[in-house]
Structure 1
Amino acid sequence: MTWKSEIIMFKNKVINNIWNTKHNLYLYYIRYYISKANNIDDLLCIFKSIASNNKFVTTDELLNLITDCFIRYPVTEIELQKMSQWQQLYNCDLGVNSYITLTFWLCIIKAIQENESKNNILYVKTLKCKLDD
């Protein structure tokens, strides 16, 4: 191996590390705003934010991005309940709200399945509750 090829390999490795760091930060950014969502309009703003950052994003790319987000940063039990309720509420709406809630719900389910198939432990944060006897 020549010194030029070693430099090229090193440069590619550095660029790849920078790209991965940028992608992970972007996933964290999306995941943060998903965790702060209190209603369907907040999820719509997240969709618009993704669309503004990726001008020509396809449905496949959108689903992969959100699924990667949930794989890397798993949902909490409360968020899972919230998304489930929103999906059930807007299930028969046949509008934008239905599309958004179904997309997020399917991405969550896909992330859970992928984590289970990789034998990864899916950490779902739970709240400790004291039950009355």
Structure 2
Amino acid sequence: MNKKIETHLSDKLAQLAVIGMQEKKGNDIKRLDMRGVNATLSDYFVICHADSTTQVNAIAKSVEEEVYKALGQEPWHKEGHGNGEWLLLDFVDVVIHIFKTETRSRYRIEDLWGDAQVETYQSA
């Protein structure tokens, strides 16, 4: 597939993830543009947190629904549904991280990717 088309699709998918997070009031939503960072495989990381495991799971479901509705895609891989502390949805070019508040504070994943361009979004 043409790299320009792939980039357009990853941009769209990342934006849909943000919308899904906003729908369920995800906190401190950030989109990290990983395209300029060495040794990364994904174009974007989209990150947010929530105060309860119920909300973490609701955000993940909302993101999956938004992406499927618009692009017909399901995650290639999912992690963390069992504990609800850190849920990961891997769409290959876009990786979604949904944390419980204290887990996000502990891991500080954004700090690991300091070279990435960061865009912050407010909840809807």
TM-score by length of 1: 0.36
Greater length-normalized contact order (CA 8 Å, ≥ 6 residues apart): 2
**Larger strand proportion of the pair:** 2
**Larger helix proportion of the pair:** 1
TM-score by length of 2: 0.37
